[in-house]
Amino acid sequence: MPSTSASVQAQPPDFDALPPALRQLAARGVQRRFRTDAVLIEEGETGDTIFIVLSGRLRAFVSDSRGREVTMAIHGPGEYVGEMSLDGSPRSASVQAVEPSLCAVVTRQTLLQHIASDPEFALSLIVKLIGRARLATESARSMALLDVYGRLKRLLESRAQTLEDGTRRIEERLTHQAIASEIGCSREMVSRLMKDLEGGGYVAVGGRRIMLVRDLPARW
């Protein structure tokens, strides 16, 4: 398991912000730090651990034999990955740290014990799995029914946050390659579309962050 340190004893500042049931589970695990780009989970491998994100961000993605990748989701503090290992099947996706991250690593046995002792957590886990199934369905629908611009528009609008001055800005620093991995196209296609949107006055980039200046057109 790639890691840059051994277990960490002190609780991180945001530990108490976790939901009580998740906080109790995290406390039963071993805290580990992962450097940027470290791979926590590899698609196809057999594993028996889940990772609860205490700080940083993790990217779940799938890839093919030619090295092409599609990002499935980005997980931040208070979220967890690897729960699909509960059925004992191979990992369905890879997980990589996109920035320095701290996780509580919990074994499958510990997770099962926690589920048995805490029905509220068991229910929250079911809800989480349903949510991820819905997200996978929505992603498949987007890939099948929307063109590349439609997928780009959906991504930008879903990530943008409205600031006090009414400006909509994406706080996450998204590179064109990261966007391409999420919407399933080439980096060159994203670069062309973003350049056109900037030229049309729809988006602006400042401080490596994307701002939505005007409502994006329905079609491009």
pLDDT at site 176: 93
The gap between the terminal CA atoms of the chain, to the nearest Å, is 44
Domain ranges of the chain: 15-144, 147-212
CB 81 within 8 A of CB 129: no
pLDDT at site 199: 93
Element (H, E) at 51: strand 49-55
Pick from 62-71, 148-157, 171-180: least confident = 62-71
On the question of pLDDT at 2 being above 60, the answer is no
φ, ψ at 96 (rounded to 5°): -135, 145
Concatenated DSSP letters of 163-197: -TTS-EE--S---HHHHHHHHTS-HHHHHHHHHHH
Residue range 15-144, CATH number: 2.60.120.10
CA distance 188 to 108: 41
pLDDT at site 12: 67
Residue range 147-212, CATH number: 1.10.10.10
Pick from 5-19, 33-47, 102-116, 129-143: least confident = 5-19
pLDDT 10s digits, 3-45: 444 344 456 666 777 877 788 899 989 999 999 999 999 998 8
**What's the token pair of residue 111?**
């997770």
CA distance 214 to 202: 5
Burial of 125 (0-12, 13-18, 19+ CB in 10 A): buried
* Average pLDDT rounded to a whole number, residues 56-75: 85
For the whole model, what pTM was predicted?
A: 0.64
